[in-house]
Amino acid sequence: MGTITVPEANLLDREGFVRTFGSVYERSPWVAERAWGERPFEGPEELRRALWRAVDEAPRGRQLELIRAHPDLAGRAAVAGELTPESEREQSSAGLDRLSPGEYERFTSVNAAYREKFGFPMVVYVRGRTKDSILAQAEARLANTREQEVETALEEIQKIAASRLQELIASEEEGGRR
């Protein structure tokens, strides 16, 4: 995956911008499309804030669509090889692609309980976490209210998006695409 500088991003037409940044938010290119209108961006942080503002200002139904666009952790999509490349890398970084049968069963169980209670998948920023810490967080979050979980999911999505954006944006010194 190549990188791009913010000045280069500012020059992209809508289609190019969405093609470049559309995967920052899981299967939700509408976020990049909305943020495109805020160009020019002075730097990476301003671009990140514009993307987040698109989510933050979206109607609750659109935010729920964004949450539902995320796969279950170590779920059927992972087993079937249907994850986006970004989700596959992220889940792999936490070892979710290397579960024992017992661990897989625990994830399947917590995913089902979570979906049943809240109506959407549990979203967790998994980088730097272990399978055990993710399961512990998942089990603890089952005690939350639906509104708490919507807010928590959106916060976790922001962390995921910031990480994905950081991988796409080159510093000015790096000179952009390689």
- Domain locations along the chain: 72-156
- Rounded mean pLDDT of 9-14? 98
Distance CA 88, CA 90 (A): 5
Distance CA 137, CA 173 (A): 39
Distance CA 96, CA 88 (A): 9
pLDDT category at 76 given cuts 50, 70, 90 is confident
**Interior angle at CA 10, CA 155 and CA 157, nearest 5:** 10
Q: What is the dihedral of CA 122, 125, 127, 132, to 10 degrees?
A: -40
Distance CA 33, CA 17 (A): 7
Q: How many residues appear in the chain?
A: 178
- Rounded mean pLDDT of 99-122? 95
The pLDDT value given to residue 31: 98
Place domain 72-156 in its CATH homologous superfamily: Oxo-4-hydroxy-4-carboxy-5-ureidoimidazoline decarboxylase (1.10.3330.10)
The pLDDT value given to residue 22: 97
Known catalytic residues?
70
The pLDDT value given to residue 174: 52
pLDDT over 90 (residue 52): yes
Containing H/E element for 44?
helix 44-56
- Rounded mean pLDDT of 31-37? 98
